[in-house]
A and B are shown apart, each in its own frame.
Chain A
Amino acid sequence: GAVVSQHPSRVICKSGTSVKIECRSLDFQATTMFWYRQFPKQSLMLMATSNEGSKATYEQGVEKDKFLINHASLTLSTLTVTSAHPEDSSFYICSARGTDQETQYFGPGTRLLVL
């Protein structure tokens, strides 16, 4: 149980285009999902907290207009990187808060490369 999937697993796009990443909780409902960014050899940096049916809460320094988050259902949250630039290239990981309301279960991550 508590499986989280992400799609796509990796994406290459041209600078200036937008990329959508999906995060799904497969066997449980998640009212809250989290989006992280991980740079090489570093820990996870929380970008935003996504709550079903409401606006996401962004961490300080994260551009909400660039990283659009939608949490339209209890099993799906999406992160759209708008007008992507090479500096947006990174490993993006989502997590979903489990039914115990404390544990986060992580997706496998999405590797984004912007050319």
Chain B
Amino acid sequence: AQSVTQPDIHITVSEGASLELRCNYSYGATPYLFWYVQSPGQGLQLLLKYFSGDTLVQGIKGFEAEFKRSQSSFNLRKPSVHWSDAAEYFCASGGYQKVTFGTGTKLQVIP
């Protein structure tokens, strides 16, 4: 069965600092991988996705993620965090049948 692990429950970064959110997946074949962001009381917004091809994926809002098969990872990065990036971030794996979500990482941005 697929599983997605987000090791960090909560991360705090200063505004302007770089960010990396970790995600590890467990899947036999090459998975479809996603990063979503959820603001309080809102639904999920797709930041980026990886299906195949270039392992460095660019998304919206200045986010990128890199697929590393050898490490079973799909970490999300942003070079300079803005206060508006404070939210909950979910990594997900899957696709046609169903999507498996990680437990989420809550990002706090301090001035």
Q: Which residues of A contact B (CB under 8 A)?
A: 4, 6, 34, 42-44, 46, 49, 91, 93, 95, 97, 101-109, 111
CB<8 Å pairs between A and B, sample of 9: A6-B43, A43-B104, A44-B44, A44-B90, A93-B43, A102-B51, A106-B36, A108-B42, A109-B41
Query: Which applies to chain B's interface (DSSP): helix, strand, loop or mixed?
Result: loop
> Nearest-CB distance from A94 to chain B (Å)?
8
B binding-site residues for A, Cβ under 8 Å: 32, 34, 36, 41-46, 49, 51, 90, 95-96, 98-99, 101-104
Using A46-B99, A103-B34 as known contacts, list a sample of 20 further A-B pairs with CB atoms less than 8 Å apart, ordered by residue number in A.
A4-B43, A43-B101, A43-B103, A43-B104, A49-B98, A93-B44, A97-B96, A101-B95, A101-B96, A102-B32, A102-B49, A103-B49, A104-B99, A105-B46, A106-B36, A106-B43, A106-B45, A106-B46, A109-B41, A109-B43
Question: Chain A binding site: helix, strand, loop or mixed by DSSP?
Answer: strand
A40 to chain B, nearest CB (A): 11
Given known pairs A6-B43, A109-B41, A111-B41, the reply for A102 and B95 (CB within 8 Å) is yes
Give Cα A43 to B88, complex, Å.
10
Chain A residues within an 8 Å CB radius of B41: 91, 109, 111
